[in-house]
């Protein structure tokens, strides 16, 4: 339609324009005139980015990819709620959680690329796509190292509440330990993530209780969702050789070591909600391979096809 091609009534701010832009004031160092804050913190400011002595670069990169892909894939699943949540307020809450996880994924993917540039997919020469974007948008499904728990399609709102609760509880325990990593970047990412995940767990825990103690229908849906997710849950707290090696080197955390404390938290929520622990066996791998080995469900390929299509169409694109 024609009107979309007309000159906009106001032009987009150009930071390089000689007259400056209306946003200049926001960028100055003195922000004391602003009642509402403008100062955003770089989580990696002043952090030593060298890989600690004696740490295998390839192992560190593989470990970062696992942590990053869990966050990236779940972030995308949560962002699929955008404009579909039961309420405007919940819509924004889920988008916030998705953005928190996307931020974690971005830092972790960048760390993986810095530790071992060989993990980054090769793009056409001169492509301005940064390494973390190349990792997010130009890897195939079997190159993703996320647990299958985060990739299965969304169900109803109760399904997402249960998934956020299980995910945030396990990841919070892992990142809490990871703040003591010998790798200063991982420690900094973990410190940032702990605050975010504490909120995610609180958000999901409140909704879990509300749905469980709400109406018959809300309880039925919640119990069904938990039952559906349960077989996938143990994978998040199982030890993969990469995680064992990272823990051994003092840079990572073996999730099995936080399984007990994760379970205590979960048991509290279940008990308060009056929901029984599902009696479901965990979903087996194929020849012992699971999500961390690149063995995924079909749902991941479909999700990635949508997530990656625009970036892949423009490998020379500047975003």
Partner 1 sequence: MTENQGPRDEWPLYEVFVRGKRGLNHVHVGSLHAADDEMAVRHARDVYTRRNEGVSIWVVRADAITASSPDEKDPLFAPNGDKVYRHPTFYAIPANVPHM
Residues that bind partner 1 (CB under 8 A): 32, 34-40, 87-89, 92-93, 96, 202-203, 206, 210, 214-215, 217
Specify the residue, 4 or 36, whose C-beta has the smaller distance to partner 1.
36
Record the tokens describing residue 190, joined without a space: 């973990």
Counts for the chain of helices (H) and strands (E), in that order? 10, 0
What CA–CA distance (Å, rounded) separates 180 from 145?
23
CA dihedral 260, 265, 267, 272 (to 10 degrees): 170
- Minimal distance, residue 192 CB to partner 1, in Å: 14
Cβ of residue 216: shortest distance to partner 1, in angstroms? Answer: 8
CB nearer partner 1, residue 85 or residue 311: 85
Min dist CB 268 to partner 1, Å, is 18
The distance of closest approach from Cβ of residue 106 to partner 1 in the complex, given in angstroms and rounded to an integer, is 18
CB of 110 to partner 1, least distance (A): 22
In sequence order, what are the beta bridge partners of 289?
286
- Contact between 235 and 149 under an 8 Å Cβ cutoff? The reply is yes
The number of residues making up the chain comes to: 319
Q: Which two tokens stand for residue 90?
A: 């919940």
Is 26 or 310 the residue whose CB approaches partner 1 more closely?
26
The residues, ordered by sequence, that sit 6+ positions from 136 with a Cβ below 8 Å of its Cβ are 72, 105, 109, 307, 308, 311
Please compute Rg for the chain using Cα positions. Answer: 21
Are 290 and 235 a contacting pair, CB within 8 Å? yes
37 versus 126: smaller Cβ distance to partner 1: 37
Instruction: Give me the sign of the Cα torsion angle 79, 84, 85, 91.
Output: positive
Q: How many C-beta atoms lie closer than 10 Å to residue 42's C-beta?
A: 8
Distance CA 243, CA 249 (A): 10
CA distance 316 to 319: 10
CB 229, min distance to partner 1, A: 23
Nearer to partner 1, 66 or 269 (CB): 269
Cβ-Cβ contacts under 8 Å for 141 (sequence gap 6 or more): 294, 296, 300, 301, 304
Minimum CB distance to partner 1 smaller for 182 or for 219: 219
Q: In the bound complex, what is the minimum distance in angstroms from residue 26's beta carbon to partner 1?
A: 11
When the beta carbons of 121 and 214 are compared against partner 1, the nearer one is 214
């Amino acid at each position: 339609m024609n009107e979309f091609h007309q000159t906009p009534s106001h032009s987009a701010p150009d930071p390089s324009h000689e007259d400056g832009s209306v946003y200049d004031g926001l960028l100055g160092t003195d922000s004391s005139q602003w009642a509402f804050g403008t100062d955003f913190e770089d989580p990696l400011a002043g952090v030593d980015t060298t890989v600690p002595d004696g740490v295998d670069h390839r192992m560190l990169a593989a470990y970062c990819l696992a942590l990053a892909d869990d966050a990236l894939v779940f972030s995308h699943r949560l962002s699929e709620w955008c404009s579909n949540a039961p309420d405007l307020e919940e819509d924004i809450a889920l988008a916030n959680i998705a953005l928190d996880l996307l931020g974690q994924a971005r830092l972790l993917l960048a760390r993986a690329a810095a530790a071992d540039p060989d993990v980054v997919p090769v793009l056409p020469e001169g492509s301005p796509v940064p390494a973390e974007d190349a990792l997010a948008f130009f890897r195939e499904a079997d190159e993703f190292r996320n647990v299958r728990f985060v990739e299965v399609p969304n169900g109803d709102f109760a399904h997402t509440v249960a998934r956020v609760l299980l995910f945030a509880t396990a990841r919070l325990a892992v990142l809490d330990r990871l703040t003591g990593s010998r790798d200063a970047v991982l420690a900094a990412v973990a410190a940032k993530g702990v605050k975010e995940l504490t909120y995610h767990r609180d958000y999901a825990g409140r909704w879990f209780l509300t749905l469980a103690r709400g109406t018959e229908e809300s309880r039925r849906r919640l119990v069904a969702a938990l039952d559906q997710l349960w077989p996938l849950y143990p994978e998040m707290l199982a030890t993969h050789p990469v995680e064992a090696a990272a823990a051994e080197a003092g840079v990572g955390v073996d999730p099995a070591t936080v399984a007990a404390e994760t379970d205590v938290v979960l048991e509290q929520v279940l008990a308060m909600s009056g929901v029984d622990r599902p009696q479901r066996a965990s979903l087996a791998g194929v020849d012992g391979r699971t999500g961390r080995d690149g063995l995924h469900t079909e749902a991941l390929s479909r999700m990635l096809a949508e997530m990656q299509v625009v970036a892949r169409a423009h490998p020379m694109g500047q975003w």
